[in-house]
Amino acid sequence: MPEAALQKAKDYKNDVEPIWCPGCGDFGDLAAFTQALAAMQLTTSDIAIVSGIGCSGRFSHFIKSYALHTAHGRALPTAVGVKTANPKLTVFVVGGDGDGLSIGGGHLPHAARRNPDITYLILDNAIYGLTKGQTSPTSPFGMVTGTSPTGLEDPPLDPLRMFLSYGVGFVARGFSSDVKGVAKMVQAAVEHPGFSIVQLISPCPTFNQVITFDFMKERVVPLPESHDATSLDAAFRMALDAEHFYTGVFYRNDSLPTMEAKLDVQRKHTMDRQPRTLDALIAQY
């Protein structure tokens, strides 16, 4: 693929056929993702996709890019290393709700503090898909699964409110059926300088009979035009709204210094104060 030519969405898709079930919500995300890449005309060899383990974690196998399909829950901290070492890469993290909010949930607040210029797509199907249907942290109250045979008694987490409380500078939510909308959101997330999270509701027709496409279609409402995404207060409020299940960009603050910028500052300060060659360093002892 000559990199200078105009790239279409399909040019970003490689030859590997997705192993997802027919009708899986992840297909919509994949389509939206390639559209976003095309919209930004990213060069394939400048893209790094770090993914977790789950059906959703296979995402990275299907895109022309440098892909690192890592361990369950560890895509985000791995991506922090990728971005640090090679900041010119456009780095994505892709994984499921179990991967990102259960086993990997502890990494989120710290990624938020550091604020690497990484875009994190959480493909949320409110279930553990790959392991064939157990509850995830976003599974709805009462749901019957392999690990909740008498109905789930815990409430789901509220990811958006959590991300906001961590200080994430870009927080959005989309629905995988809305390919165009998701593509735009992904593009905006990439354009945001710093850490961005997009929660993508992506139903699993095989194992989740509660959070289905139909169920979601009835509930999803775009954020009102009037929503002020620069206001943290407003973002919290819309995330909390019990009546509407909003999609869109809840919060965006482009003014937080990125991890890469902070590391540059640290490097500059250190260079000013400490020896820069091995011999000079050793000579101090």
Among positions 182-241, residues that touch other proteins (CB under 8 A) are 206
- Is residue 103 within the footprint of other proteins (CB under 8 A)? yes
Per partner kind, with CB cut-offs from 5 to 8 A, the member of Mg ion, a second copy, ligand TPP, none near residue 169 is none
| Complete DSSP assignment for 174-240 | EETT-HHHHHHHHHHHHHSSS-EEEEEE---TTT-SSS-HHHHHHHEEEPPTT--TT-HHHHHHHHH
3-class DSSP string for 51-99: ECCCCHHHHHHHECCEEEECCCCCHHHHHHHHHHHCCCCEEEEEEEHHH
As a whole number of angstroms, the distance between CA 166 and CA 188 comes to 20
If binding is defined by CB under 8 A, does position 105 make contact with a second copy?
Answer: yes
204 binds ligand SF4 (CB under 6 A): yes
| Binder of other proteins out of 32, 37, 79, 220 (CB under 8 A) | 79
Closest contact distance (angstroms) between CB of 225 and ligand TPP is: 32
Give the span between the Cα atoms of 26 and 21, in whole angstroms: 9
Does residue 161 interact with a second copy by CB under 8 A? yes
- Rg of the Cα atoms in the chain: 20
Identified binder of ligand SF4 from the candidate list 24, 47, 82, 108, rule CB under 6 A: 24
Q: Does 96 bind Mg ion (CB under 5 A)?
A: yes
Residue 48 sits in the site that holds other proteins (CB under 8 A): yes
Does 136 contact ligand SF4 by CB under 6 A?
no
Q: Determine the Cα angle at 96 with ends 11 and 54, to 5°.
A: 85
Q: Take residue 6 and report the two structure tokens written for it.
A: 């105009």
| Sole binder of other proteins in the list 7, 34, 78, 176 (CB under 8 A) | 78
Instruction: Kindly tell me which of 42 and 157 has the beta carbon lying closer to a second copy.
Output: 157
- 248: three-class secondary structure by DSSP: strand
5 touching other proteins, by CB under 8 A: no
Binding site for a second copy (CB under 8 A): 101-107, 109-110, 113-115, 137, 149-151, 153-158, 161-162, 164-167, 236, 257, 262, 265-266, 269-270, 273
Binding site for Mg ion (CB under 5 A): 96-97, 125, 129
